[in-house]
Amino acid sequence: MDEKYLRGLINEVKAGRLSRRSFVQAMVAVGLTAPLATQMLTSAGVAHAQTSRLAYKPTKRGGGGALKTLWWQGATLLNPHFAVGTKDQDGSRIFYEPLASWDPDGNLAAVLAAEIPSVQNGGVSKDGKSVTWKLKKGVSWHDGKPFTADDCIFTAEFAADPATASVSIATYKDIKVDKIDSHTIKVNFSKPTPFWADPFVGVRGMIIPKHQFEAFKGAKSREAPANLKPVGTGPYEFVDFKPGDIVRGKLFANYHMPNRPHFDTIEMKGGGDAVSAARAVIQTGEFDYAWNMQVEDDILRRMEQGGRGKASIVAGGNIEHIQVNFTDPAKEVDGERSSVKTTHPLLTDPAVRQALNLLVDRASVQEQIYGRTGIATANFLNQPERFQSKATKFEFNVEKASQILEAAGWKKGADGIRAKDGKKLKMVYSTSINAPRQKTQAIVKQAAAKAGVEMELKSVTASVYFSSDVANPDTYTHFYTDIQMYTTTMTQPDPELFMNQFTSWEVASKENKWQGRNITRWRNAEYDKLYRAAETELDPVKRAAMFIKMNEMVIQNVVVIPVVFRPRVAAVSNRMHVEQSGWDSDFWNLPNWYREG
Amino acid sequence: MSKYVIRRLLIMVPVLMGISLVLFTILALAPGDPFEELATNPNVPPEVRANLRAKFGLDDPIAVRYLRWVTAMVKGDWGFSFVSRVNVDELILQRLPVSLFVLGSAQVLGILVALPIGTMSALRPYSWFDQISTTLAFVGFSLPTFFTGLVFILVFSIWLDWLPFIYRADISTSGWRWYWDHLRQALMPIAVLGLFQGATLTRFMRSAVLDVIRLDYVNTARAKGLSEKTTIMKHVVRNALIPVVTLLSLQVPAVFGGAIITEQIFRVPGIGSLLISSILANDTPVVMAITFVLTALVLISSLAADIVYAVLDPRISYN
């Protein structure tokens, strides 16, 4: 690590991206360890495009035959700004492209941008209030019209119009996009924005052609013919679409990258279930690629033996974790339980939380349940690696948990359950119905019983548990139980949005119809302050350190108990060369996909 | 007769209204909405969902939404899917041909299997042929289609590697090859459904023939010297078909509705798979349209069955 660290440091200093002096100052200021600095240095915020790690071998455009992909939920619409789920984003991404995509490391890779803006090349302003994108020249839409700055500006206007009812409105509503010239745009933010790479980037950044959608902005947006017959800049042009069933495309002869794409046609078939999709790729080879393999690792491994494909796994930020309720789910105040006006009778005792942390056998959960599809972790914030804390660790130790409880005055009663001041250590542990979750619940319950903590297991149907039904007390945001477990998704490589789920202003309550993101109702003034500071901190190193500190606060206070982080899993034919990213659509690098032999 | 038909048709109107009201209320009371997925996406603020709900009128009281739906439906406007924002009639028409092809062929296969076998076993009850066909028929309709479907996939796709198990409505080949590809992929779903239907029909046919063959006019036919073949074909089978035809006409809605499970297993893009994905996505307009058409078909085909009955059996009269 030391050698790598030094090399990284030297490179940074050599490239002039960071002066040695300011780097050291920053290091001292936050008291970081060397390996951590390496990761921050190499990435230093969101700078520097990297070339794809996929070595593209074909020497001419086309000739690759048909590319057959399988999504067990079919795309239902092909306008990226109406996309309800990832299936729709992926279907749209075949035809539309953003200015830049997120690579597997969470770095930007230019697509329709000529270069990635940075402070060094003058693209990102020093005050963090604007970013200037230079667009690639000579790009044409599928219908032959040229791609220009006007299309970018139109896309922002289209998405920001409330009457359009786009799902990407949050990305575009507070920005102002100026046209500098035909191939340069300037994105202005209302306040200093360290994470400037949200508009025009990734799944919400796909650019739609002005000449196709101009007449259909606002209330008429549903009527645009291009909603169903997309005209984009992507490697494949539109052939046919049946919502929920199939999306077909054919090679676009004027695609802006040389010798690409490799395949003559593309097909994205929908429907069915994940296991049979895995079979169609790994076992029978009927298809080349299948998305989102929510399949037990055991089954995947069995299919892989002597099969025609394999599981492709790439790190992402999603985390399966147990949340601890800091409010009392049994007491009703002003028509709501788990109100911030109450405190939890058991879980506000730090000793109880620490004991719980020691009673979750993460290694066994990974080994026996998730395999390659869930990695045991001590951290809530795991990816990209530059934000991962190295100071935390996890342990499974029933003995130690018992000692902590004993020392805190929780004594075992005749029934084997610990109690203190007449309060028994009994809690309700809820989650959604899903086989791996029920198995995890059983593992935790067993260990807890040994330490004298009784757990009542509760499982709620996923469609109810994850619904935002205000009237239903069993949703995860109501959190009317003591501890609960589910996966929180991290949809972008910047942790700002991800870490807001521990801020006090995000507490889920009756007032905000339980739409707040802070489900545990943990409140901490220091965390709030740190978060506010990170929102405007422009120095990427300092900012990363802040998020690492936030993660450590959450872990040390046992606000949540991380269990496993969930990488993205796809099934890929052995002959296919693809590159996945945990931070963007499965098709983010589609032009570079090819098949051997 | 025409009076009877008109009366039945008029009764259908309140029945359809009642059923649609019940359906609509149940769907409206079910938890969730089509934009549920947005709720768990941290990049989408809650206002976006609220805005979409308001735009599609999901926040209005159930009565208002129902009235809006009924008035539009009466005018022939089926509404549009909340999920894909495509008109519902368009979505259904896209899926209909596949469903009709797969389920129609399955029905034909079922009939082709059931009629001869049912007749043969009734002619020689408790013979070895009857014993075997009865056993197979029981096995056939006891095994659910999702089970036989998976077994077929395991044997023909995974072990033998003969047939694809993913149905694609758009096959790019042309000429004979196109027919061949279509047949190959449709073989398993048609066989699974057809044999299931056939098994039930076989039992019906057998008991219908047994009922008829004991009757006096069959003896008369034999006594007057008609050949065995003529007796069976003209006198026995024809009369035995009456209850079977009724049964078949009652199965028409099933053909339209698609075999939900089989379509799901083989990824057949038919009406059934559209229905199930719309239910899962809380896409009310699509679910309403499909279930409404299905109820209408059930009512119409039961009327048709009654009419066919009267035509086939002159003893029955509705006047």
Per-residue pLDDT tens digits for A373-385: 999 999 999 888 8
User: CB under 8 Å to A427, separation ≥6 — which residues?
Assistant: A346, A347, A453, A454, A455, A456, A481, A482, A483
H or E segment at A248?
A: strand A246-251
Contact A491 B153 (CB under 8 A): no
pLDDT surpassing 60 at residue A400: yes
From CA A467, how far away is CA B35, in angstroms rounded?
A: 10
Whole-model pTM: value is: 0.84
- Interface probe, candidates B44, B95, B266, B275, chain A, greatest A C-beta count within 10 A: B44
Which run of H or of E encompasses B126? none
How far, CA to CA in Å, does A442 sit from each of A25, A172, A434, A561, A564? 49, 45, 13, 16, 16
Q: What percent of chain B has pLDDT over 70?
A: 98
Tell me what ipTM this predicted complex has. 0.82
CB-CB neighbors (< 8 A) of B277 in chain A: 73-74, 244, 271
Q: Do the Cβ atoms of B46 and A469 come within 8 Å?
A: no
Band (pLDDT 50/70/90 cuts) for residue A170 is confident
Q: β-strands A560-565, A375-376: how paired?
A: antiparallel
Higher pLDDT, A41 or B296: B296
- Select from B68, B16, B58, B61 the least CA-distant residue to B35: B58
Q: What residues of A are in contact with residue B265 (Cβ under 8 Å)?
A: 272, 276
Which amino acid type is present at position A152? Answer: C
pLDDT tens-digit profile of A495-504?
998 999 999 9
More confident residue, B314 or B201: B201
| Predicted pLDDT at B76 | 84
Quick one: which of A262, A335, A250 has its CA closest to A55? A262
The amino acid occupying position B98 is V
Question: Residue A38 has what pLDDT?
Answer: 38
What is the phi-psi region of residue A16: left when phi exceeds 0, alpha when psi lies from -120 to 50, beta otherwise?
left
Strand order of the β-sheet with A423-424 is A411-412, A418-420, A423-424
Q: What is the pLDDT of residue A538?
A: 87
pLDDT band (50, 70, 90) for residue A44? very low
The minimal CB distance from B31 to the residues A284, A472, A498 is found for A472
Report pLDDT for A50.
45
Q: Give the integer Cα–Cα distance in Å for A570 and A308.
A: 14
Cβ(A294)–Cβ(A462) below 8 Å: no
Axis-axis angle for helices A540-556, A525-536 (nearest 10) = 160
**What is the C-alpha to C-alpha distance for residues A112 and A206, in angstroms, rounded to an integer?**
10
How many CB atoms neighbour CB B64 within 10 A? 11
SS3 (DSSP) at A212:
helix
Q: How far apart are CA A207 and CA A99, in angstroms?
A: 8
Q: Are A297 and A371 in contact (CB under 8 A)?
A: yes
Q: Does B185 touch chain A (CB under 8 A)?
A: no
**Residue A222 carries which DSSP code?**
G
Locate A566 and state its tokens.
Answer: 């969930």
Q: Is A220 near chain B, with CB under 8 Å?
A: no
Adjacency order of strands within the sheet including A130-134: A130-134, A184-189, A175-181
**Contact residues for B131 (Cβ-Cβ < 8 A; gap 6+):** none
Shortest Cα distance from B39 to chain A (angstroms)?
7
* Alpha-carbon distance values, A266 to A252, A291, A407, A587 (Å): 11, 15, 64, 12
Tell whether the model's pLDDT for residue A445 goes beyond 90: yes
pLDDT at A35: 37
Q: How far apart are CA B108 and CA B99, in angstroms?
A: 14
Mutate to test the interface with A, among B83, B151, B166, B268 (most CBs of A within 10 A): B166
Which chain A residue has its CA at the smallest distance from B83's CA?
A76
Which of the residues B85, B278, B290 would you substitute to probe the A interface, choosing the one with the greatest number of A C-beta atoms within 10 Å?
B85
Compare CB distances from B169 to A76, A246, A272 and report the shortest one's residue: A246
Per the CB < 8 A criterion, the answer to whether A536 and A191 are in contact is yes
Q: Are strands A100-102 and A108-110 parallel, antiparallel or unpaired?
A: antiparallel
Confirm if A356 and A324 have CB atoms less than 8 A apart.
yes
Closest Cβ opposite residue A468 in set B36, B83, B84 = B36
DSSP string, A22-90: HHHHHHHHHT--HHHHHHHHHHTTT------SS-----SSS-S-EEEEEESS------GGG--SHHHHH
The answer, for A101 touching chain B at a CB cutoff of 8 Å, is no
- Tell me the C-alpha distance between A198 and A112, whole Å: 15
> Using omega within 30 degrees of 0 as the cis cutoff, is the peptide bond preceding A261 cis?
yes
Q: Hey, CA dihedral for A415, A420, A423, A424, is it positive or negative?
A: negative
pLDDT at A6 over 50: no
Report the chain A residue with the minimal C-alpha distance to residue B49.
Answer: A167
pLDDT digits (tens, 9 = 90+) for B211-270: 888 888 888 988 988 888 888 888 888 888 888 888 887 777 776 666 888 888 888 888
Task: State yes or no: cis peptide before A384, omega within 30 of 0.
Answer: yes
Among residues B246, B237, B248, the alpha carbon closest in space to that of B210 is found at: B237
Q: What is the dihedral of CA A509, A510, A513, A519, to 10 degrees?
A: 20
Distance, CA of A251 to CA of A63 (rounded, Å): 10
Q: Is the pLDDT of residue B295 over 90?
A: no
Angle between helices B271-280 and B284-312 (to 10 degrees): 140
Q: Give dist(CA A173, CA A392) in Å, integer.
A: 38
d(CA A390, CA A38): 12
Of A170, A244, A245, the CB nearest to B44: A170
- The answer for A 510-529 residues in CB contact with B (under 8 A) is 512-513, 515, 517
What residues of chain A lie within 8 A of the CB of B36, using their CB? 463, 466-468
Mean pLDDT rounded to a whole number for chain B:
86
HSE-CB at A344 with a 13 A cutoff on CA atoms is 27
- Tell me which chain B residues have a C-beta less than 8 angstroms from the C-beta of A166: 48
pLDDT attached to residue A46: 37
pLDDT tens per residue across span A509-532 = 988 888 888 999 999 999 999 999
pLDDT digits (tens, 9 = 90+) for B177-197: 888 888 888 899 999 988 888
Interface test with B, best of A84, A247, A264, A512 (most B CBs within 10 A): A84
- Rounded CA-CA distance A38/A77 in Å is 42
Average pLDDT of chain A, as a whole number: 88
CA–CA separation, A245 vs A269, rounded Å? 6
Mean pLDDT, range B5-33, rounded to an integer? 88
Per-window interface: B 274-303 vs A, CB < 8 A: 274, 277, 281
A224, A212 in Cβ contact below 8 A? yes
pLDDT at residue A33 is higher than 50: no
CA distance A245 to chain B (A): 6
B207 touches chain A (CB under 8 A): no
For residues A455-477, give the mean pLDDT: 87
Please indicate whether, in this complex, the C-beta atoms of B166 and A76 are within 8 angstroms of each other: no
Q: Cα separations (Å) of A453 from A349, A354, A378, A537, B76? A: 14, 13, 22, 43, 62
Neighbouring-strand partners of residue A455: A427
Distance (Å, whole) CA A594 – CA A590 = 9
The answer to whether A470 faces chain B, any CB pair under 8 Å, is no
Indicate whether A79 pLDDT > 50: yes
CA A185 to chain centre: 27
Distance, CA of B253 to CA of B303 (rounded, Å):
12
Closest CB to B164 among A227, A286, A513: A286
- CB of B157 less than 8 A from some CB of A: yes
3-state secondary structure of A109: strand
Closest-CA distance, A575 to chain B, in angstroms, reads: 19
